[in-house]
């Protein structure tokens, strides 16, 4: 980044910034992401979570694809293993948060009103309602929507996009941005596959791979437990990858306090 004005111009992208200037104008080159304010808060969230050793995972999908049911099943499976909390995003109601709380896990409901996605600022406010020192794993259940949530970094460590078998196997081709944002794709409600002969898991997998990405894809059912072990294995991998090993906390705390000095 340039020290004088904070712009992001490098020799590699300078040609993009050099636009012809109309008469009577002076121009400044910027080359920043359009969402740099959101991204700045997202980075702050990520640092805040990292300081407490909390791994945050953002779940995105269309409404009704089984995000909450998957979380209920996951909370049951991980009881006593990791300390979990959930941030729930919905336009209205506390219904999902109540389902999570019924499992004995803290849930913060964000009601967005008319906003069709969560952004880093909303998650930042929700984080302040949680005692991060008492947590290992934070799920963020985004607003059910296959379009808008994809554009906003929340400070999560990984994105998970769900595609339920009742939605059609061409959804990755129709909504490429949200599938391209995914570190993991879940084909959910696999217990319904016998009734959904038009849905081909192979075609769904191919549609994802044709977006110039290669994320792991797990087919699962929160109802009958199919594929849940694979999902839990992936979660354990995320915990290993994003959590400092015991002993590293002290090193991070020391370097943070030396920066503050």
Partner 1 sequence: MHELSVCRGLLQQVADIAATHQQPQVSRIQLRIGPLAGVEPQLLQQAFTIARQGSVAEQAELAIEAAPLIVHCPDCGQDSPASLPRLDCGHCGQQQTQLKSGDELLLLSIAFPSDAHQEQQDV
Q: In whole angstroms, give the CA distance from residue 12 to residue 7.
A: 14
Judged by CB under 8 A, the residue of 10, 125, 129, 210 near partner 1 is 210
| Residue 43 lies near partner 1 (rule: CB under 8 A) | no
| CB of 134 closer than 8 Å to CB of 165 | no
Judged by CB under 8 A, the residue of 27, 102, 133, 253 near partner 1 is 27
| Residue 14 lies near partner 1 (rule: CB under 8 A) | no
Beta-bridge partners for 107: 86
Size of the site for partner 1 (CB under 8 A): 45
Packing angle of the helix pair 228-242, 67-77 (nearest 10 deg): 80
Name the one range near partner 1 by CB under 8 A: 24-32, 60-68, 74-82, 183-191.
24-32
Sign of CA dihedral 93, 57, 209, 35: positive
Name the one range near partner 1 by CB under 8 A: 79-87, 89-97, 150-158, 216-224.
150-158
Build a one-symbol-per-residue string for 154-173: x at contacts with partner 1 by CB under 8 A, - elsewhere. Answer: ------------------xx
Packing angle of the helix pair 248-260, 36-51 (nearest 10 deg): 130
Nearest to 203 by CA among 217, 191, 184: 217
Sheet containing 55-60: give its strands across: 106-111, 84-90, 137-141, 55-60, 158-164, 184-188, 217-219
In a 3-state reduction of DSSP, which class is residue 92? coil
| Residue 224 lies near partner 1 (rule: CB under 8 A) | no
| Residue 133 lies near partner 1 (rule: CB under 8 A) | no
Taken as a whole, the chain contains a residue count of: 261
Build a one-symbol-per-residue string for 106-125: x at contacts with partner 1 by CB under 8 A, - elsewhere. Answer: ---------xxx-x------
| Residue 188 lies near partner 1 (rule: CB under 8 A) | no
| Residue 10 lies near partner 1 (rule: CB under 8 A) | no
Q: How far is the CB of 211 from partner 1 (least distance, A)?
A: 6
| Residue 22 lies near partner 1 (rule: CB under 8 A) | yes
Nearer to partner 1, 21 or 259 (CB): 21
In a 3-state reduction of DSSP, which class is residue 221? coil
Residues forming the site for partner 1 (CB under 8 A): 5, 16-17, 19, 21-38, 115-117, 119, 147-148, 150-152, 172-174, 176-178, 180, 206-207, 209-212, 214
């Amino acid at each position: 980044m340039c020290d004088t004005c904070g712009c992001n111009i490098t020799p590699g992208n300078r040609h993009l910034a050099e636009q012809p200037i109309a008469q009577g104008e002076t121009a400044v080159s910027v080359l920043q992401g359009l969402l740099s304010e959101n991204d700045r808060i997202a980075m702050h969230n990520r640092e805040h979570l990292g300081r407490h050793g909390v791994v945050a995972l953002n779940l995105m999908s269309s409404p009704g694809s089984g995000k909450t049911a998957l979380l209920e099943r996951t909370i049951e499976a991980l009881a006593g293993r990791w300390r979990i909390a959930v941030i729930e995003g919905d336009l209205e109601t506390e219904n999902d948060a109540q389902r999570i709380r019924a499992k004995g896990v803290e849930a913060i409901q964000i009601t967005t009103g008319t906003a069709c996605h969560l952004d880093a600022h909303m998650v930042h406010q929700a984080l302040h309602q949680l005692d991060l020192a008492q947590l290992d794993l934070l799920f963020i259940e985004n607003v059910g929507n296959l379009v808008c949530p994809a554009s906003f970094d929340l400070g999560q460590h990984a994105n998970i996009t769900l595609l339920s078998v009742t939605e059609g196997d061409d959804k990755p081709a129709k909504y490429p941005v949200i599938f391209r944002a995914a570190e993991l794709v879940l084909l959910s409600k696999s217990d319904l596959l016998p009734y959904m002969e038009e849905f081909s898991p192979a075609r769904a997998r191919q549609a994802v791979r044709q977006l110039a990405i290669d994320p792991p894809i797990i087919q699962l059912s929160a109802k009958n437990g199919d594929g849940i072990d694979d999902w839990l294995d992936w979660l354990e991998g995320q915990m290993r990858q994003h959590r400092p090993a015991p002993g590293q906390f002290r090193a991070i705390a020391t370097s943070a306090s030396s920066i503050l000095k």
